[in-house]
């Protein structure tokens, strides 16, 4: 069976199971005394406008997945691979994205209110137009991320800023030296 066909079947199966009330998709098993998570591989899948509130996709592979306008409120996406994923206009409010890899992800206009992004990698991610109220970016990596003007000034209490962080939209009223002194 081709990987693409398997991926489409996996996505269809996940959506069908979700409609029946299932929310846990990261299966856990113990192997030699170690708990391992078997997460779904939904890389490259077209999941636009999907409604998956409260879904558990811990460690899922969503590389290059199209989740445009997806409803993922309160989703468990910790340690997920979301590299180059399209999450534009997605609802990620209250989602757990701890230690997720969002490298080069498109998060334009996403709702990240109260999202948990502790130790997430947002290198090169597009965060313009996002809603961040209450989001926790503690330890997040934002190197080369495209950020809305003024964002870093509002995040400094919860964000460790790397000295080499570059901002594509320079913040005119706050300098990197001022931010560094707040650390």
pLDDT at 32: 57
In this structure, are residues 11 and 31 in contact, taking their beta carbons and an 8 Å threshold?
A: no
pLDDT at 103: 98
Which residues span the domain enclosing 153? 1-183
CA distance 6 to 52: 20
pLDDT at 83: 99
* pTM score of the predicted model: 0.72
| pLDDT-based confidence at residue 159 (cuts at 50, 70, 90) | low
Q: Which range scores top for mean pLDDT: 35-39, 115-119, 174-178? A: 115-119
State pLDDT tens for residues 107-116.
999 999 999 9
> Poorest-confidence range of 79-93, 95-109, 115-129, 136-150?
136-150
pLDDT at 39: 74
> Poorest-confidence range of 39-48, 81-90, 106-115?
39-48
> Poorest-confidence range of 127-141, 143-157, 165-179?
165-179
CATH of residue 81: 2.160.20
Report, as an integer, the average pLDDT of 74-98: 97
* 146 vs 176, residue with greater confidence: 146
> Poorest-confidence range of 10-14, 31-35, 49-53, 89-93?
31-35
Give the C-alpha distances (Å, rounded to integers) separating 84 from 32, 37, 64, 104, 106: 34, 23, 5, 5, 7
Count how many domains the chain has: 1
| pLDDT-based confidence at residue 154 (cuts at 50, 70, 90) | low
Least Cα distance to 100 among 79, 127, 74 occurs for: 79
- Tokens representing 159? 């964000």
CA distance 161 to 159: 6
């Amino acid at each position: 069976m081709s990987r693409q066909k398997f991926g489409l079947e996996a996505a269809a199966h996940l959506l069908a199971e979700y409609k029946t009330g299932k929310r846990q998709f990261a299966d856990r098993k113990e192997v030699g005394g170690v708990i391992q998570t078997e997460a779904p591989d939904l890389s490259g899948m077209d999941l636009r406008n999907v409604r998956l509130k409260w879904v558990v996709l811990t460690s899922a592979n969503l590389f290059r997945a199209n989740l445009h306008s997806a409803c993922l409120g309160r989703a468990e996406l910790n340690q997920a691979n979301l590299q180059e994923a399209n999450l534009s206009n997605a609802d990620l409010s209250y989602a757990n994205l701890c230690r997720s890899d969002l490298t080069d992800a498109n998060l334009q206009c996403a709702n990240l209110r109260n999202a948990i992004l502790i130790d997430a990698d947002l290198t090169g991610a597009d965060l313009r137009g996002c809603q961040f109220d209450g989001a926790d970016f503690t330890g997040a990596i934002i190197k080369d991320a495209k950020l809305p003007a003024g964002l870093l000034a509002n995040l400094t209490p919860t964000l460790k800023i790397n000295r080499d962080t570059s901002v594509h939209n320079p913040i005119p009223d706050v300098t990197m030296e001022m931010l560094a002194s707040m650390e």
